[in-house]
Amino acid sequence: MLAFLFRRIVAGAALVAVVATATFLLLNLTGTDVARNILGESATRSAVTAKSHELGLDQPLVERYWHWAEQAVRGDLGSSWFTGDPVGQSLVDTLPVTLSIVLAGLLLAAVLSVALGTAAALRGGWVDRMVQLAAVLGTAVPSFLIALVLAVTVAVQLGWLPATGYVAIDASVTDWLRSIVLPAVSLAVAATAATAMQVRGALLDVLRADYVRTLRSRGLSTRSVVFRHALRNAAPPALTVLALQFIGLISGAVVVEKVFGLPGIGSLANSAAVRGDAPVLLGTVVVTVSVVVAVNLLLDIAYGWLNPKVRVS
Amino acid sequence: MTAVDVEPTPRRDRLPRRTLRDPLAAGCLAVLALVIAASLAAPLLTDYVPDHSVMADTLAPASDAHPLGADGVGRDVLSRLLYGGRTSLLGGTLAVLVAFAVGGPLGVISGFYRGWFDAVAGWIVNVIMAVPAIIVMLVVMAAVSQDLNVAMVVLGVIMAPMVFRLIRASVIAVREELYVDAARVSGLGDGRVMRRHVLPVVVAPSVIQATQVFAVAIGIQAGLAFLGLGKASQASWGAMLGDAFTNIYNAPVLLLWPGVAMGLTILASSLLGNAVRDALGPTGPRPVRKRRKRVVRQSAPAADVPADRLLTVEGLRVSYPKPDGEKSVVEGVSLTVARGEVLGLVGESGSGKSQTAFSVLGLLPDDAEVTADRLAFDGQDLLGMDTAALNRMRGHGIGYVPQEPMSNLDPCFRIGFQLVEPMRTHLGLSRAEARSRALGLLERVGIPDPERVFRSYPHQISGGMAQRVLIAGAVSCDPRLLIADEPTTALDVTVQAEVLDLMRSLQQEHAMGMVLVTHDFGVVADICDRVAVMRGGRIVETAPMRQIFAAPGHPYTRTLLASTLDGGPVRGEPSARPGAGEPLKGMTS
């Protein structure tokens, strides 16, 4: 298990490095005059040259890359070209917002997908058909459209929950919850739909297994057979799908943050993309991919815990 | 038939028509056709240029001049909706084309040749799939171009892994089919193998995948435009939503049109893919799962039943609903078991003996239809029982030993837990009591290191051990009847005899009645008091064990004896060597 974890951590670090390098090259190969963009059309030529020098843009690409990579490994992701704010601090400020809505969405999706998938598998008939149809619709509709509908109805028209803004969890837990409910729900829909179908399929497979019949022959209650034994066996494949869905959740969060006016990583990346602020954009890429790697690692551990064959060997 | 001639193509020709017969699919196609037609005819339907803004018309309501009103900077909503449709459709199409142009060939090559190419492609795919798509799009749009169409081409590359995986898996599946190997051996070139065998299999899932990519691409494109990316001159539904969103308090109705247009297009596209999938299914739309109740046809009062009678089965019938009518697997079986008596239920596979055994336990699949004139255990009517009573009876009254030991233990739980749980349920034992009883049982069934096995998971023990564990589980709650379904068939020959000895000694120790389902007369001779011979869902003969061997009454019994006894030595005392019987005909079902 330790060797397995070590391998996964090394592979994850390699993944982050590859993606960061590719992003760095992409952002720095385009040849636009960054200093001119920052200072505007009216700036003098010498001011532009000075700015270029200040940002280190007059140095060869390879050198700039090594410089960035060396600092990044030490935890310093540079500073914004436009505001001069250290990228690391911006990420520390925005990450909790995004993690709040994404992890809440993931949790919601896990709970709802087990409930819906189990109901569809056990009840069959029209319940099954409704869940399947809802799943097709749920996976198709983009999360920000759901977010817009929820913002207009629940927040603006009904006024039940705040339409915009984020409250930190250490300021007020209830206000924090109120500020993340609608974004988390918007994000959870697609992940719930996809995972529910996986739970349904896996559970139907397990319920046909020989050992389920044998467990029933021992006179165990349906509750124990389904919820203790069958669901436990159906969990690993569902978890794999949930891990894939997490990446989709982060994608969705970028747009959903804008709908609900949340100052998260997505908003940071969005404004950096509009301005062409390469260091900030690069920082958000590194952090989001790291988060994906970390969550996948946690889900791997959960997978091992659920599946004794992986755990013991 | 020669391998080269096998071509799974005919389904492809019928698929479009079969899909269209589904009203939902036809509706989806109609919606998509409408969106396409309206977008193409945009210049005919409106005179406005979509990005022409007239400040005086800001947030103008619907009127003759602006049928759907004007937006936050005075642009005509209808014209933006129509031209925005072009952007969405073009974007979705670009993404689909690029995804298939990139993912398709790579998937075919990876699946067909495997090797290093497959390894490298798989690694790249994993990298691409680990990065959130929108983040990549933000980077690309910041670095390369603000054009939404360029972004959609890049999105096509990002979504190519989905296509790659699908195509690769399909190709591998075909590749491993024997007929492709045969085709290669018979001299077909790779190109022709792919065209004749691989392509037809890949087409249908690709259509489904394409509708999904199309829908996702339209959603992501709208998301990017909503974020304010893209050129201002490019009218798009996402940009309309963005504009409407800034006026959410003044004119929330602006959200309606682009939202509806986008929602409908995406839903129509993905529901269409779903309909294609349904049309591909073996019998079209899935039938609704029905739950059939076990039915008592007529329950006669238990007047003439002998006092030592344990199990009574009279006129048992089991059938399953099939598309072409009912399929009957047990047709009027009657048998009895007295206390302490061992009944052998013998027959070839498919004769209905296991179905009979499961009927007694109430463990047939949900769709089975069970009727009986009488089905009673120890004076209790089994067919009229509610679930709770049935659960008390199972395990506590009747124990069950399955055929295949390795697939009958829950792989996720330790063996100890699986033994302890029923005892705590039925006997009300404490955790410690159940544990010590379980350890005692494990020792009793001949497991050398009970403590270790108690702590083990099923995959850590051998098949013979697992069967002993299952026998221990079956007798753990002191049942009065044991139903064993081919308990030794899956075991090594050396272990078979030991397990059979164990079952016999346990049966005698606890004076249990037993129904032993088997096809092996050696097992019958070893352990049974009486034998019932089944064939085609009926019992053809029931007789005491010695009589079956000495003077089999039914010709089928003689055939069966001949075919099983000639194979190997029988322990115990078979008193007769039967002669050849009739040939086995009509033995299926």
Question: Would you state the structure tokens that stand for residue B225, as one six-digit string?
Answer: 């435009």
Q: Does A297 touch chain B (CB under 8 A)?
A: no
Amino acid making up residue B500? L
Lowest mean pLDDT among B137-151, B335-349, B421-435: B137-151
Q: For A70-84, B56-70, B427-441, which range has the lowest pLDDT when averaged over its residues?
A: B56-70
Mean pLDDT of chain B: 81
Instruction: Mark yes or no for CB contact B270/A137 under 8 Å.
Output: yes
Confidence of residue B286 (pLDDT cuts 50, 70, 90): very low
> What is d(CA B225, CA B218) in angstroms, rounded to the nearest whole number?
11
pLDDT of residue B495: 82
Q: Is the pLDDT of residue B576 over 70?
A: no
How far B288 CA sits from the closest chain A CA (Å)? Answer: 5
Geometric angle at alpha carbon B499, from B497 and B504, rounded to 5° = 95
The answer to whether B281 contacts chain A (CB < 8 Å) is no
d(CA B186, CA B217): 43
User: What are the tokens at A287?
Assistant: 């952090």
Distance of alpha carbon A128 from alpha carbon B283, whole angstroms: 18
Q: Which residues pair with B345 in a beta bridge?
A: B517, B532
What residues does B313 pair with on adjacent strands?
A: B335, B375
A43 burial type by CB count under 10 A (0-12 exposed, 13-18 middle, 19+ buried): middle
Q: What span, in angstroms and rounded, lies between the C-alpha atoms of A53 and A64?
A: 12
Both tokens assigned to A233: 């066996």
Higher pLDDT, B233 or B214: B214
Ordered DSSP codes for B392-457: HHHHHTEEEE-S-GGGSS-TTS-HHHHHHHHHHHHH---HHHHHHHHHHHHHHTT-S-HHHHHH--
Indicate the SS3 state at residue A107. Answer: helix
Total Cβ atoms within 10 A of residue B539: 25
Contact criterion met (CB < 8 Å) for B252 and A156 = yes
Mean pLDDT of B325-334: 87
**In sequence order, which residues have a C-beta less than 8 Å from that of residue A165 and are 6 or more positions away?**
A179, A260, A261, A262
H helices of chain A, in order, are 2-28, 34-39, 45-55, 61-73, 87-123, 125-140, 143-150, 173-207, 210-217, 222-223, 231-259, 265-275, 278-306, 308-312
Q: Give the pLDDT of chain A (313 residues) as one tens digit per residue.
A: 678 788 888 988 998 999 999 888 888 876 666 777 777 777 777 877 877 777 777 778 888 888 888 888 888 888 888 888 899 999 999 999 999 999 999 999 999 999 999 999 888 788 888 888 888 888 888 888 899 889 888 887 787 888 788 888 888 888 888 888 999 999 999 999 989 988 998 898 898 889 999 999 998 988 889 989 999 888 888 888 888 888 889 989 999 999 898 999 999 998 888 888 888 999 999 999 999 889 888 888 888 777 777 654 4
Interface test with B, best of A211, A223, A292 (most B CBs within 10 A): A211
Smallest Cβ distance to B135: which of A27, A156, A288? A288
pLDDT at B303: 57
The answer to whether residue A103 neighbours chain B at the CB level (below 8 Å) is no
Q: Residues B391, B395, B400, B401: is their CA dihedral positive or negative?
A: positive
Of A164-178, A296-310, B373-387, B444-458, which one has max mean pLDDT? B444-458
What count of residues does chain B have?
A: 589
Which are the contacts of B264, defined by CB distance < 8 A and separation ≥ 6? B31, B35
- Model confidence over B525-543: pLDDT tens digits? 888 999 999 998 888 889 8
Q: Which residue has the higher pLDDT, B251 or B3?
A: B251
Please, which pLDDT band fits residue B180 given cuts at 50, 70 and 90? Answer: low
Identity of the highest mean pLDDT range in B33-47, B156-170, B372-386: B156-170
- Cβ atoms of residues B35 and B261 within 8 Å: yes
Instruction: Check A140 against B421: CB less than 8 A apart.
Output: no
Nearest CA in chain A to B270: A140
Single out the residue of B149, B219, B76, B70 nearest to residue A148, CA to CA.
Answer: B219
Q: Which of B409, B412, B425 sits opposite A232 (nearest CB)?
A: B412
- Contact between A211 and B387 using a beta-carbon 8 Å cutoff: no
Spell out which residues of chain A touch residue B256, defining contact as CB-CB under 8 Å: none
B140 touches chain A (CB under 8 A): yes
Torsion-angle region of B340 (φ positive above 0: left; ψ -120 to 50: alpha; else: beta): left
Mutate to test the interface with A, among B88, B227, B386 (most CBs of A within 10 A): B227
For domain B309-397+480-589, which architecture applies?
3-Layer(aba) Sandwich (3.40)
Say which residues have a Cβ less than 8 Å from residue B34's Cβ, sequence separation at least 6.
none
Chain A residues whose beta carbon lies within 8 Å of the beta carbon of residue B418: 215
Q: Nearest-CA neighbor of B401 among B491, B509, B310? A: B491
Extract the tokens encoding A186: 């918007």
Lowest mean pLDDT among A8-22, B49-63, B96-110, B282-296: B282-296
Beta strand pairing status for B374-377 and B325-338? Answer: unpaired
Among chain A residues, CA nearest to B144:
A30
Query: What is the rounded radius of gyration, in angstroms, for the C-alpha atoms of chain B?
Result: 35
Helices B10-21 and B23-40 cross at an angle (nearest 10°) of 90
Whole-model pTM over 0.90 = no
Q: Is B316 left (phi over 0), alpha (psi -120 to 50) or beta?
A: beta
**Residue B85 carries which side chain, given as an amino acid letter?**
G
The answer for B 473-502 residues in CB contact with A (under 8 A) is 473-474, 477
Q: Which of B299 and B311 is assigned the larger pLDDT?
A: B311
pLDDT at residue B389, rounded to an integer? 86
CA-based nearest distance B558→chain A, Å = 33
- Is residue A287 a contact partner of residue A91, using CB atoms and an 8 Å limit? yes
CA nearest to A29 within chain B = B143
Among A144-148, B229-233, B427-431, B498-502, the range scoring the smallest mean pLDDT is: B229-233
Give the long-range contacts of residues A56-64, CB within 8 A, separation 24 or more. Answer: A61/A25, A61/A28, A61/A29, A64/A28
Task: List chain B residues with CB under 8 Å of A278.
Answer: 142-143
Q: Please give the CATH architecture assigned to the domain spanning B16-46+70-280.
A: Orthogonal Bundle (1.10)
The tally of CA atoms less than 13 A away on the side-chain side of residue A237 is 17
CA distance B446 to A252: 59
Domains of chain B: which residue ranges? Answer: 16-46+70-280, 309-397+480-589, 405-476
Report yes or no: A247 at the B interface, CB cutoff 8 Å: yes
What are the tokens at B532?
A: 């019932």
Q: What is the dihedral of CA A93, A95, A100, A101, to 10 degrees?
A: 110
Q: How far apart are the first and last CA of chain A?
A: 8
Chain A contact for B258, CB < 8 A?
no
Name the token pair of A208: 């046909």
Contacts with A131 (C-beta within 8 Å, 6 or more apart), sequence order: A116, A117, A119, A120, A196, A200
**How confident is the model at residue B566, as a pLDDT?**
52
Of A86, A28, A93, A38, whose CA–CA distance to A267 is shortest?
Answer: A93
B408·A244 Cβ contact <8 A? no
Q: How far is B553 from chain A (nearest CA, A)?
A: 35
Mind telling me how many Å the CA of B485 is from chain A's nearest CA?
11
Is the pLDDT at B190 greater than 80? The verdict is no
ipTM of the complex as predicted = 0.85
Cβ-defined contact of B267 to A137 (cutoff 8 Å): yes
* Lowest-pLDDT choice from A49-53, B477-481, B551-555, B572-576: B572-576
Residue of A nearest to B357 (CA): A217
The minimal CB distance from A284 to the residues B130, B135, B421 is found for B135
Q: In degrees, to the nearest 5, what angle opens at C-alpha B363 toward C-alphas B361 and B366? A: 145
Q: Do B138 and A270 touch (CB under 8 A)?
A: yes
On whether the CB atoms of residues A116 and A139 are closer than 8 A, the answer is no
- Distance from the Cα of B135 to chain A's closest Cα (Å) equals 7
Cα–Cα distance list, B270 to A55, A138, B226 (Å):
48, 10, 22
Task: Check whether B59 has a pLDDT greater than 80.
Answer: no
Residue B49 has pLDDT above 70, yes or no: yes
Q: What's residue B184's pLDDT? A: 66
In this predicted structure, the answer to whether residue B292 has a pLDDT above a threshold of 60 is no
Choose from A133, A157, A208, A214 for mutation: most chain B CBs within 10 A.
Answer: A214
